[in-house]
Structure formats: C-alpha cells, structure tokens
Amino acid sequence: MRSPGRNLNLIAISLVLVLGAGCRGFFVNPTLSSIAVGPQNQTISNSGTLQMSATGTYSDGSTKDLSGKVSWSSSTTSCATIGASGLVKPVSSVVGICSTTISASFGTVSPATTTVTVSGGTPTQITLSASTTTPAPNSTVTFKALATFPGSSTPQDITASVTWINSDTTNLTLTNGSGTGTISANAAAGMAINVTASFTGVNSNTVTLTVQ
C-alpha cells in the first residue's frame, strides 16, 4: 500500500509534467523577417575583391549573420561573380567600368540587393558637362561624366558611379548615383556654384553654374 506522502509526490510530478508540456506550446521560434546586405554600392578595381555580408532580422527583433547561409548571386557574371561565402570576384578582363547587382536570398523572404561597380583601372581623364550652365532658381540641371580608361579610346559614362564635389550644397542638391541636380528656389541671381566629379581619386574638370 502506497503512503499518502508518496501519492502526493506522484501527483505533484504529474502536474509539473503536464504544465511543462502545456507551457512549451506558448513558445514559438522566431521567424526570419528580412535580410540586409552590405557594404552598399561599392566600386572596386578588376584586380581586387569585395567581401559581402548578409544579416537577417527575425520576428522577435533579433539579428543573425547569415553570410554563409544565404544564396548569393550576381546579375552580370561577365562583370563579377560571387561565391557561397559572399566574396565578390571581378572579371580581370573588364575594361572601363561595368556594374552588377548582387543578391542574397533565403527561403521565402524577399532578397536583399546592392550594386557593385567594377573599374578596369584608373581613368586617364574624366570630362564633366552640364545640360545648362545658366540655370534658373527652382530648375534642374543634368550632369554627365565621361571617363577614358587605359586600354580603351572610347569614353564611358560613369555618371552614376562618381562622387560629386559641390561648392554650394545649400543651393544645389546633388545625390551620388544620380546625374540630376536641383537648384534651390531661393538661389540668388548671379550666384556661382562649382561642380566636380571624382572617381577612384581622379577629378574631372570643374563646371561652373551661374544662377540667372
């Protein structure tokens, strides 16, 4: 015959097991919400490499390095390829510049992307031009940067890859990756704004805008 004390112990153990099993139903593993890749919008030479990383954000707000688990791809393999670890390798025969979209995908989550530009070397010359050098207030100006690279006599449009050097960021808004600038509505007539395009340490000629 079991003692009352032992029966109570068995009941208590049973309750713990039942409650424990029930509680586990309230805990749900976090799910992957989004992926971010970096570094973003890089320019590298055809003799270099670039290590990409992928970070996953989960439903509980936590993050995790997924660089070695995502599926990497390059949209233009004639420009650069990317390996399973996220290492970008440019094609050594690239002359001038080319661009490729690097993607990281995992399951059903929307892929994360960035653009990698490959340069075939240092430009020997960059020529900058503008759609107008006498813009009016509250108007737009379109810039174009053409570069000549070693091994090619044909200038290539590198407008989307240059870094803008702008003498007046208050009265002229220029964004890297775009060749369109906006003149402020408050820009005074006669005001001069100097713009230069820079790529891999080489500067273009300076274009001077005079507000009318």
145-184 pLDDT tens trace: 999 998 888 899 999 999 999 999 999 999 999 999 999 9
Residue 164 burial (C-beta neighbours within 10 Å; 0-12, 13-18, 19+): buried
What is the architecture of the domain spanning 125-210? Sandwich (2.60)
CATH match for 32-119 among 3.40.250.10, 2.60.40.1080, 3.20.20.60, 1.10.730.10: 2.60.40.1080
pLDDT for 66 equals: 97
Instruction: Provide the Cα torsion 67, 73, 74, 78; round to 10°.
Output: 120
Report residue 24's pLDDT band, with 50, 70 and 90 as the boundaries: very low
CATH 2.60.40.1080 domain residues, the chain: 32-119
* Digit-coded pLDDT (tens) for 89-113: 999 999 889 999 999 999 999 999 9
Structure tokens at 128: 């900058």
pLDDT of amino acid 117: 93
Instruction: Note the pLDDT of residue 152.
Output: 82
Q: What is the pTM of this model?
A: 0.71
Give CB contacts under 8 A, 24+ apart, made by 208-211: 208/133, 209/130, 209/132, 209/133, 209/134, 209/135, 209/141, 209/172, 209/183, 210/133, 210/134, 211/134, 211/135, 211/136, 211/137, 211/171, 211/183, 211/187
pLDDT digits (tens, 9 = 90+) for 124-133: 999 999 999 9
Residue 142 has pLDDT above 80, yes or no: yes
Higher local confidence (pLDDT), 82 or 26? 82
27-49: pLDDT as tens digits:
689 999 999 999 999 999 999 99
pLDDT averaged over every residue in the chain? 90
